[in-house]
Amino acid sequence: MALLSPLCGALLAAVFGKSLGKWFTNSVTILGVLISLGVSTLLLSILIEDPSQVLNQSIYSWMKIGELEFQLGFLIDNLTASMMFVVTFVSLMVHIYSIGYMKDDPGYHRFFSYISLFTFSMLSLLMANNFLQLFFGWEAVGVMSYLLIGFWYTKASAIKANFKAFIINRVGDFSLLLGIALLFANLGTLDYISIFKSAESLSNTSISISSSLNVSVITLSCILLFGGAMGKSAQMPLHVWLPDSMEGPTPISALIHAATMVTAGVFMLARMSPLYELSTSALSFVLIIGATTALFTGFLGLVQNDIKRVIAYSTLSQLGYMIVAAGVSAYSASLFHLMTHAFFKALLFLAAGSVIVALHHQQDIRKMGGLYRHLPFTYATSVIGTLALIGFPGFSGFFSKDALIEAVHFSNIFGSDYAYFAVLVGVFVTALYSFRLLFIVFHGEDKFKNNPVKEPSISIVIPLILLAIPSALIAWPTIGPMVFGDFFTNSIMQPSAYDLFGFQFTNPINFLFHALKSPVVYIAGFGFITAFYLYIIKPDLPQKISEFLRPIHNLLLERYYFDYLIEQGIGQSFKKIGNVFWTLGDIRIIDDTLVNGIGRNIHTISSKFKKIQSGYIYHYAFMMILSLSLFLGWVIFITIEPS
């Protein structure tokens, strides 16, 4: 029911929406996601009460080849149920929000059908009990993100963005497929539990990469699987698609790029924890990639002037934090930050959408200012989301971010020192770009005194309020069981909480006071003070700094030239190679030689032979006599016996 209700809503909206009207589209899609949320909540409550009530059941045999059987089924444990709750809750808020945001869009019914289909695809990924179904869900969310990013298909930049997202994700997906294939080749199964039980044997099995390099199968499998996570969760260098995907409608940014698709990679790392715990090399690789993403994508948020792109780079950075936590085996802290981030980042995206709607789809923050006077609800919820994002004490982001940074600090795995430095600097950068955005948009000079703007419709405001509540409070009752307790015992494999964090958790209050002893809060506070000085007290100073640091500023504006390298370097190189094969293979061999060549040669030969048809009787008589002579000569030759 949780899986199929969004699918039914999407199909009904697609088939009957236009004829029955917007109310029907709203009703069936929202009802479908609401039912899914209700069932997800019920499943989560059952598992909280009795963690042994794990469902792992195959429901359909998809294909059988000899002794190999490929099945589709469900695995519902605490990890699955908690992710289902987060996904369906955010999806419901986005559905409600979209009533107001998309009300004048000609693709209204198509939009609601797409987001419900996306919810179905994401749930199928989460509920899978085998790699086959995981890959189907993985690809399904990729296709739906392609359709949603390019929803405004008459807009050239949107078409380029969705194509870019699709291609970059295919690179990661190919790596994921290779990882699945390697596990299947060595273990002969795609079932999660069967693979986890047999995985230890892969630690002693090596595969030759070259004549001088051998890698254990488990390490190579984990790195290849992580390649898929790098694509979906936008880790460097496969991160370039996510900022451009802001070309889609804002509700899509909140749904896909805050709580669902981009967290699929983090979810997969947690689900595959029994594999990753067998390879410290793979964990170090994950840790270093995550730390690099967390730090360097955060810097890019400092120079963006598009309101959605600032939040997009924030998402990239926070995804890096989640990957870092998984890299030090703190999967529970990674998932906890995933949950809190889903709420406050969806809130920030939807608040940005509220600003965009109020300003008639203006997204340049340089043309904004003083909006707190005109958009009080949007401003208040934006403040809550910002405080949660920077990790202000007491807010949800504070608990989740501090817990994972504690785990990184306490870890001694290779790369942990670099990762700890990266996440600490990232704390300052996060506070700086977050309050830069808040101060420029809502404070400073009121640019709308003569043209007042007003709060958008209630369908936009209500989701903001409902998301602000968990952004502020959700961590208080959940950090104990989820991060330090045994909530994920039936789902993931990780060291004990004391081995991960170095201290014993008692209650949220004590954790708060413990966290105040670490530098995290004070670094965030310094980031706030810096932003206040630069954008409130001395608003002309940032321009002077950017001119003084022009080379660095240009490097950030060009996004480290990753886009140039991929599009102009790698892309153009493959285009040239493709042109060579096209010219040699398609044009010269297939077209010129085989297709057109055969016809041309037949035409040439027939042109020669047609000269024989002169029309003169004596020519034909001569040919007949000549042919008869040749035939008689051949008969005599074969009948005369040699002497």
HEC letters along 531-567: HHHHHHHCCCHHHHHHHHCHHHHHHHHCHHHHHHHHH
Mean pLDDT, the chain, rounded, equals 88
What are the residues facing 75 on neighbouring strands? 56
Span 7-13, average pLDDT: 91
Q: Measured in whole angstroms, how far is the alpha carbon of residue 330 from the centre of its chain?
A: 21
In which element (H, E) is residue 509 found?
Answer: helix 508-515
**How large is the C-alpha radius of gyration of the chain?**
31
pLDDT digits over 463-512, tens only? Answer: 999 999 999 999 999 998 999 988 988 889 999 888 898 888 888 998 88
Tokens 């009460």 belong to which residue? Answer: 49
State yes or no: pLDDT of 271 exceeds 80: yes
Of all residues in the chain, the percent with pLDDT exceeding 70 is 99
pLDDT at 486: 87
| Distance of alpha carbon 575 from alpha carbon 444, whole angstroms | 48
User: 237: cis peptide before it, omega within 30°?
Assistant: yes
Residue 358: how many CA atoms within 13 Å on its side-chain side? 30
Residue 530: pLDDT band with limits 50, 70, 90: very high
| Distance of alpha carbon 596 from alpha carbon 589, whole angstroms | 10
In which element (H, E) is residue 276 found?
Answer: helix 273-276
Structure tokens at 520: 């995290």
pLDDT at 641: 59
State yes or no: pLDDT of 178 exceeds 70: yes
Of all residues in the chain, the percent with pLDDT exceeding 90 is 46
pLDDT digits over 313-356, tens only? Answer: 999 999 999 999 999 999 999 999 999 999 999 999 999 999 99
Q: Give residue limits of the domains in the chain.
A: 1-195+227-267, 279-553, 563-639
pLDDT digits over 29-85, tens only? Answer: 999 999 999 999 999 999 998 888 888 888 877 777 777 777 888 899 999 999 999
Choose between 355 and 566: higher pLDDT: 355
CA proximity to 4, closest of 32, 25, 27:
32
Number of Cβ within 10 Å of residue 2's Cβ equals 25
Residue 642: pLDDT band with limits 50, 70, 90: low
Is the CB of residue 440 less than 8 Å from the CB of residue 365? Answer: yes
Is the CB of residue 530 less than 8 Å from the CB of residue 432? Answer: yes
Q: What is the pTM of this model?
A: 0.88
pLDDT at 407: 93
What is the number of H-type helices and E-type strands within the chain? 29, 4
pLDDT at 298: 92
Is the CB of residue 381 less than 8 Å from the CB of residue 468? Answer: yes
pLDDT at 227: 93
pLDDT digits over 98-144, tens only? Answer: 998 888 888 889 999 999 999 999 999 999 988 988 999 999 999 99
Of 109-113, 247-251, 339-343, 610-614, give the lowest mean pLDDT range.
610-614
pLDDT at 300: 92
pLDDT digits over 425-453, tens only? Answer: 999 999 999 999 999 999 888 887 777 78
pLDDT at 382: 93
Q: What single letter denotes the amino acid at residue 67?
A: E
pLDDT at 180: 93
Residue 293: pLDDT band with limits 50, 70, 90: very high
CA proximity to 286, closest of 333, 337, 238, 225:
225
Q: Measured in whole angstroms, how far is the alpha carbon of residue 412 from the centre of its chain?
A: 29
CA proximity to 302, closest of 159, 397, 178, 426:
426
Span 372-393, average pLDDT: 92
pLDDT digits over 199-228, tens only? Answer: 888 888 888 777 777 888 899 999 999 999
pLDDT digits over 86-98, tens only? Answer: 999 999 999 999 9
The DSSP bridge pattern shows strands 206-210 and 68-76 to be unpaired
